[in-house]
Amino acid sequence: LKMNPPIRYQKDKEILWKRLHDGTVNCIATDHAPHTLENKAKGFPHAYSGMPGVETSLPVMLTHAANGECTIEQVVQWMSSNVAECYGMIGKGKLEEGYDGDIVLVDLKKELLVEDKNAWSTVGWNPFAGKTLVGWPILTVVAGIPVFERNDSTGPKGRCIVEPGQAGSPLVMTPWN
Protein backbone atom coordinates (compact mmCIF):
# COMPACT_ATOMS: atom_id res chain seq x y z
CA LEU A 1 0.00 0.00 0.00
CA LYS A 2 1.47 3.31 -1.07
CA MET A 3 1.95 5.88 1.68
CA ASN A 4 4.34 8.72 2.32
CA PRO A 5 6.80 8.50 3.79
CA PRO A 6 7.12 4.83 2.90
CA ILE A 7 8.04 2.46 5.73
CA ARG A 8 9.06 -0.47 3.57
CA TYR A 9 11.84 -2.17 5.41
CA GLN A 10 12.57 -3.41 8.93
CA LYS A 11 15.47 -0.92 9.05
CA ASP A 12 12.98 1.94 8.48
CA LYS A 13 10.91 0.76 11.45
CA GLU A 14 13.99 0.37 13.65
CA ILE A 15 15.20 3.88 12.84
CA LEU A 16 11.76 5.36 13.61
CA TRP A 17 11.71 3.59 16.99
CA LYS A 18 15.27 4.75 17.73
CA ARG A 19 14.38 8.36 16.88
CA LEU A 20 11.24 8.23 19.05
CA HIS A 21 13.22 6.90 21.98
CA ASP A 22 16.08 9.41 21.62
CA GLY A 23 13.67 12.35 21.19
CA THR A 24 14.64 13.24 17.62
CA VAL A 25 11.02 12.46 16.72
CA ASN A 26 8.85 13.64 19.59
CA CYS A 27 5.29 13.12 18.42
CA ILE A 28 3.10 10.71 16.50
CA ALA A 29 0.26 12.16 14.48
CA THR A 30 -1.63 10.73 11.56
CA ASP A 31 -3.75 12.16 8.85
CA HIS A 32 -6.67 10.25 7.48
CA ALA A 33 -6.42 9.46 3.78
CA PRO A 34 -9.34 7.11 3.12
CA HIS A 35 -8.80 5.97 -0.45
CA THR A 36 -10.63 3.00 -1.89
CA LEU A 37 -8.71 -0.21 -2.48
CA GLU A 38 -9.48 0.25 -6.17
CA ASN A 39 -7.60 3.57 -6.17
CA LYS A 40 -4.79 2.06 -4.10
CA ALA A 41 -4.35 -0.76 -6.64
CA LYS A 42 -3.60 1.47 -9.64
CA GLY A 43 0.13 0.79 -9.45
CA PHE A 44 3.02 3.20 -9.09
CA PRO A 45 2.97 6.15 -9.68
CA HIS A 46 -0.81 6.36 -10.17
CA ALA A 47 -1.92 4.72 -6.93
CA TYR A 48 -3.27 7.18 -4.38
CA SER A 49 -0.99 7.74 -1.41
CA GLY A 50 -2.20 7.33 2.15
CA MET A 51 -4.58 5.10 4.03
CA PRO A 52 -7.20 5.18 6.76
CA GLY A 53 -5.38 5.25 10.06
CA VAL A 54 -6.89 7.49 12.70
CA GLU A 55 -9.25 4.96 14.27
CA THR A 56 -6.54 2.35 14.90
CA SER A 57 -3.54 4.59 15.63
CA LEU A 58 -3.96 4.51 19.42
CA PRO A 59 -4.56 0.73 19.69
CA VAL A 60 -1.55 0.17 17.39
CA MET A 61 0.68 2.17 19.72
CA LEU A 62 -0.80 0.61 22.87
CA THR A 63 -0.13 -2.81 21.35
CA HIS A 64 3.51 -1.77 20.94
CA ALA A 65 3.49 -0.72 24.61
CA ALA A 66 1.98 -4.07 25.64
CA ASN A 67 4.76 -5.78 23.67
CA GLY A 68 7.42 -3.79 25.57
CA GLU A 69 8.56 -1.55 22.72
CA CYS A 70 7.62 1.59 24.65
CA THR A 71 5.69 2.62 27.75
CA ILE A 72 2.12 3.82 28.09
CA GLU A 73 3.49 7.13 29.37
CA GLN A 74 5.53 7.51 26.18
CA VAL A 75 2.44 6.80 24.06
CA VAL A 76 0.57 9.56 25.94
CA GLN A 77 3.44 11.98 25.37
CA TRP A 78 3.94 11.07 21.71
CA MET A 79 0.24 11.09 20.79
CA SER A 80 -1.18 13.83 23.02
CA SER A 81 0.89 16.29 25.03
CA ASN A 82 3.81 16.52 22.59
CA VAL A 83 1.48 16.78 19.58
CA ALA A 84 -0.44 19.64 21.21
CA GLU A 85 2.81 21.43 22.03
CA CYS A 86 4.41 20.81 18.64
CA TYR A 87 1.38 22.06 16.70
CA GLY A 88 0.56 24.89 19.11
CA MET A 89 -2.89 23.52 19.98
CA ILE A 90 -4.14 25.91 22.61
CA GLY A 91 -6.03 24.22 25.46
CA LYS A 92 -5.11 20.69 24.35
CA GLY A 93 -2.75 17.95 25.49
CA LYS A 94 -3.13 18.20 29.27
CA LEU A 95 -5.73 17.64 31.95
CA GLU A 96 -5.33 20.90 33.82
CA GLU A 97 -7.51 23.83 34.77
CA GLY A 98 -8.07 26.02 31.73
CA TYR A 99 -7.65 23.17 29.25
CA ASP A 100 -10.52 21.72 27.21
CA GLY A 101 -10.96 18.47 29.14
CA ASP A 102 -10.51 16.13 26.18
CA ILE A 103 -9.73 12.57 27.24
CA VAL A 104 -9.85 9.04 25.93
CA LEU A 105 -10.46 6.25 28.43
CA VAL A 106 -8.85 3.02 27.30
CA ASP A 107 -9.31 -0.59 28.36
CA LEU A 108 -5.68 -1.71 28.34
CA LYS A 109 -6.71 -5.36 28.42
CA LYS A 110 -9.31 -5.19 25.64
CA GLU A 111 -8.17 -7.15 22.62
CA LEU A 112 -10.06 -6.80 19.36
CA LEU A 113 -9.52 -8.31 15.97
CA VAL A 114 -9.47 -5.48 13.42
CA GLU A 115 -12.14 -6.23 10.83
CA ASP A 116 -13.13 -4.14 7.83
CA LYS A 117 -16.81 -4.44 8.76
CA ASN A 118 -16.13 -2.38 11.91
CA ALA A 119 -14.30 0.44 10.13
CA TRP A 120 -15.60 3.96 10.67
CA SER A 121 -13.90 5.15 7.50
CA THR A 122 -16.18 5.64 4.52
CA VAL A 123 -13.95 3.40 2.39
CA GLY A 124 -14.76 0.40 4.59
CA TRP A 125 -11.28 -1.10 4.94
CA ASN A 126 -8.45 -0.89 7.42
CA PRO A 127 -4.74 -1.58 6.80
CA PHE A 128 -4.62 -3.51 10.09
CA ALA A 129 -7.49 -5.87 9.22
CA GLY A 130 -6.73 -9.36 10.47
CA LYS A 131 -4.50 -8.18 13.31
CA THR A 132 -5.45 -8.32 16.96
CA LEU A 133 -4.71 -5.06 18.77
CA VAL A 134 -4.88 -4.36 22.49
CA GLY A 135 -5.85 -1.15 24.28
CA TRP A 136 -9.07 0.13 22.74
CA PRO A 137 -10.87 3.37 23.58
CA ILE A 138 -14.02 2.71 25.59
CA LEU A 139 -15.02 6.35 26.13
CA THR A 140 -14.02 9.57 24.39
CA VAL A 141 -14.75 12.92 26.02
CA VAL A 142 -14.45 16.25 24.16
CA ALA A 143 -14.62 19.48 26.17
CA GLY A 144 -16.03 17.48 29.07
CA ILE A 145 -18.81 15.93 26.96
CA PRO A 146 -18.86 12.16 26.29
CA VAL A 147 -18.97 11.72 22.51
CA PHE A 148 -18.11 8.04 21.85
CA GLU A 149 -18.44 4.75 23.70
CA ARG A 150 -17.45 1.14 23.10
CA ASN A 151 -18.82 -1.59 25.36
CA ASP A 152 -20.60 -4.95 25.27
CA SER A 153 -23.87 -3.41 24.07
CA THR A 154 -22.26 -1.36 21.26
CA GLY A 155 -20.10 -4.17 19.93
CA PRO A 156 -16.52 -3.77 18.72
CA LYS A 157 -17.23 -0.78 16.48
CA GLY A 158 -18.65 1.35 19.28
CA ARG A 159 -21.07 4.21 18.74
CA CYS A 160 -21.22 7.98 18.69
CA ILE A 161 -23.14 9.41 21.64
CA VAL A 162 -23.68 12.90 20.20
CA GLU A 163 -24.26 14.27 16.72
CA PRO A 164 -21.31 15.80 14.86
CA GLY A 165 -20.68 19.38 15.92
CA GLN A 166 -22.40 19.01 19.30
CA ALA A 167 -19.19 19.02 21.35
CA GLY A 168 -15.94 20.93 21.25
CA SER A 169 -15.05 24.09 19.43
CA PRO A 170 -12.83 25.07 16.51
CA LEU A 171 -9.19 24.32 17.21
CA VAL A 172 -7.07 27.38 17.99
CA MET A 173 -3.45 26.94 16.98
CA THR A 174 -0.33 29.04 17.30
CA PRO A 175 2.51 28.92 14.77
CA TRP A 176 4.48 25.69 14.46
CA ASN A 177 6.74 25.02 17.47
Cα–Cα distance list, 10 to 3, 30, 129, 155 (Å): 16, 20, 20, 34
pLDDT at 101: 87
Classify residue 79 as exposed, middle or buried by CB count within 10 Å of its CB (0-12, 13-18, 19+): buried
Percent of the chain topping pLDDT 70? 99
Predicted confidence band of residue 75 (pLDDT cuts 50, 70, 90) = very high
107: annotated active-site residue: no
pLDDT at 72: 98
Distance, CA of 23 to CA of 127 (rounded, Å): 27
Whether the bond into 156 is cis, omega within 30 of 0? no
Half-sphere exposure of 111 (CA within 13 A, CB side): 6
Catalytic residue among 31, 100, 102, 107: 31
Asked whether the whole model's pTM tops 0.85, one would answer yes
Predicted confidence band of residue 74 (pLDDT cuts 50, 70, 90) = very high
Q: Looking at residues 44-69, what average pLDDT do you find?
A: 92
**123-136 pLDDT per residue, tens:** 889 999 999 999 99
Determine the CATH number of domain 10-160: 3.20.20.140
**78-135 pLDDT per residue, tens:** 999 999 999 999 999 999 999 998 999 999 999 999 999 998 888 889 999 999 999 9
The answer to which of 3-12, 55-64, 146-155 has the lowest mean pLDDT is 3-12
Sequence ranges of the domains in the chain = 10-160
